[in-house]
Chain A
């Protein structure tokens, strides 16, 4: 067991400090130490995309990042997509298109799709499918996910739809 290290980073716009061992992944820190379980663990070896986060604008698998690498970074997780004013258009479109069944891959897909739309606001279906090929979904067959992303791309950037929920 190594000595714990002090890390100072920014998560969803807020300054966050934590102590970690050198061998701990960023995903482990989110889930087991910061209480941020929205980022999911699917495989822990970088093959499913369920733990996707955006670090300094780049889409990453947080299971493949050591927690110590978070020093002085800006990280966006699923918990940072919605604002108090409402859901991100991607979240709203996932609900409207019934793009989730069990929902375990959904946070990863949403974060990955946000990273896509941030750099390519009007992607083709081919571009969406190519970009999201690192995210596995076993429930939906992807049809309704791809439709939701294409539909969300048509919502004007930076306008957030009203929070809509049935409960």
Chain B
């Protein structure tokens, strides 16, 4: 096991030549000069501008929509509603890696049919010669609504007498349809051991309820789509998405056309974090293009991004843990309900996998409920489902440690998940790095450095995310100057062109700069699942590894041809082709590439993988120092350290970047971020009122990269994208407790809540 602190800033890990170094990313120049073309930057000749009319009501029946005045406005070229969908649309279930969705639900989320289910639900869309005319036209569309009672609280939505959102939604229990009409879409349960026995033998049992508000992914580029649907039936979509093939699948399914008729071009993407997996605009833009005969571009307004897309489910989580006198965990029970929003599909399954993932619990039971209510359909957000449940478990672990007088790291080490431990959902861990992140925390200078003031506290918490493998493709073409063009299928959301190209380069002994990576569209690269699940460097990197192996084999055959020698007499070492017996015969990759034109032409290698990730996942441990202002309740982060098992860090700078980004998103979730609702309507739909952390709110984020190689990957990669968001809210809640002696169990821990808890404690002490 190796560990690299960002303060060491090392270059190279000694084991590999390219992997572990920090080359400048291939797409960096275009992104610092403004040349990179994002989805919002797409412009086509004759392009129209689209906008979407959205419901002002949380729940209403649509009696009628009159678009005649809008259509008559000069400059308006098309208006579409749900009536413009092909009537023959089917209702298959689509899997999008971090969720499974019914096509009828996806279609009615794009343009509402009969009913609107949340404020911001799309009702109609307009295309006009400029954006201002499109906006004017929206105001001319007359919608006659019959207002219906709405429900915005998860427990109210679960009641038998709650207003029902869907006539056709019945509860699925243990995968079986119960036939009961309800807002409870599903109940998930995992169980191991004997819970009663475990709690019976426990010396200490602690149980608490926790709540978290909906938060938004908060990517800085709004949703966008540009579509051109030509009269030959061929539809092209340019968009920023976490997965071009996912957009193809969703758009074709929603429109009721074959996937072969939809080409999706993934533009540069301005953030996603899970929120750019579902489509919102591509089918609207497509229908508008079909009707107008022109390409149509829609950029969602920022207010609509908040009101209509993304957020995480608001959650209710109850956790109970029992331990013996030494701190050994004997039993655990969790019961939680996630508010999925208007359509089912919140990450209950993931929450159930993560809630007890960091420790060995011989006896455990988890019950999770996916509940619909009148808010926007929730979407994945970095380690979806993990953060709220980890908050609950880690806070209770800290309370048990306190009660027993055990050091918070020691109690975690005593119980840490490791190889052979069975998780509550049944999987048995292979080699993992949970314990190693805790040992690094214990050894870290941060842990030993005393705090230096009143109202300061330190908190430690551990987190986890399951990570994914799945399908990826890459194709490589050798150029005659010895460079290689590498086309891969994963949207580059944070430096993955570099991490994929570096794995390719490592195989061939080439410098990272000799590879020219690009992201292919759905017509130019093999099927690749989305950029999500922390899977790109793992799986697409592996596809690049396979492509490099094929290039190597073919180049060795070319060397044999060049030397007129049998292929078995050619060796390849450190980027040099060698003759087995004739030491004078040597060719660098570049020299051999220069001869290809005389050796039968191009060398092309491709790699297609669908690896089983296994059940390892990635673990994180973080430490937060806070100071609480006793007069206002404001919490300031004084110091923050994130430790993560990366397996193998391909490009350490971008691994650190993921850890730092996840940390600060976790800090925002802990302290500031929240959807405020009043009368079923979001009250803070702007970046001014929905406040994500600025650089003035946070300190530098120290990182330690732990490397416990993934035994199932050629280079030991685990994937690092998500697990860093899971533990920060718990660490901060614990730090606040250690600073001022109050336990907060609801996110965000905003000043008024902290202050109220402090005043309550003060009153109780008098």
Chain A interface residues (CB < 8 Å from chain B): 1, 21, 23-24, 28, 31-32, 35-45, 47-48, 50, 77-79, 81-82, 87, 91, 94-98, 100-107, 110, 128-130, 132-147, 163-167
Contact = CB atoms under 8 A, between A and B. Distances in A.
B31 A41 contact: no
B742 interface: no
Given A136-B687, A138-B218, A140-B657, A78 B512 contact: no
A102 B493 contact: yes
B155 to A, nearest CB: 31
B29 A138 contact: no
Most buried by A among B28, B662, B692, B700: B28
A98 B657 CA distance: 8
A42 B221 contact: yes
Contacts of B273: 138
Interface stretch (B33-41, B328-336, B467-475, B565-573): B33-41
Contacts of A107: 32, 34
A50 B38 CA distance: 13
B224 to A, nearest CB: 10
17 contacts: A40-B270, A44-B301, A81-B33, A94-B32, A95-B28, A96-B24, A97-B653, A102-B270, A104-B220, A105-B270, A134-B694, A138-B218, A138-B219, A138-B220, A142-B698, A166-B25, A167-B26
Interface string B648-692: 000101101110111111000000000000000000001110001
Given A98-B495, A103-B268, A144 B653 contact: yes
B270 A103 contact: yes
Contact of A103 (B31, B133, B654, B698): B31
A43 B305 CA distance: 10
Nearest to B668: A138
Contact of B43 (A24, A35, A42): A35
B430 interface: no
B37 A37 contact: yes
B701 interface: yes
A37 B42 CA distance: 9
Instruction: Tell me the dominant secondary structure on chain A's binding face.
Output: loop
A142 B301 contact: no
Nearest to A37: B41
Nearest to B518: A167
B302 A133 contact: no
B494 interface: yes
B223 to A, nearest CB: 12
Contact of B32 (A31, A106, A134): A106
Contacts of A143: 656, 660, 700-701
Contact of B687 (A24, A41, A43): A43
A127 B354 CA distance: 40
Most buried by B among A21, A78, A82, A141: A141
Nearest to A110: B32
Most buried by B among A96, A136, A143: A143
Most buried by A among B495, B658, B694: B694
Contacts of B31: 100, 103, 106
B34 A78 contact: yes
A130 B38 CA distance: 28
Contacts of B693: 142
B219 A98 contact: no
Contacts of A165: 24, 28-29
B83 to A, nearest CB: 29
Given A165-B24, A165-B28, A45 B688 contact: yes
Contacts of B272: 102
A137 B698 CA distance: 12
Interface in B297-318: 299, 301-302
Nearest to A36: B34
Contact of B38 (A40, A96, A97, A145): A40
Interface string B1-45: 000000000000000000000111111110111111110110100
Most buried by B among A40, A105, A139: A139
A47 B658 CA distance: 24
A148 B31 CA distance: 15
B197 interface: no
B662 to A, nearest CB: 8
A133 B495 contact: no
Contacts of A36: 34
B688 A141 contact: no
Contacts of B220: 40, 42, 48, 50, 102, 104-105, 136-138
A152 B26 CA distance: 21
Contacts of B516: 167
A36 B493 CA distance: 22
Contacts of B34: 36-39, 77-79, 107
Contact of B695 (A31, A78, A81, A145): A145
Contacts of B661: 101, 138-141
Interface string B261-286: 00000001111110000000000000
A129 B695 contact: yes
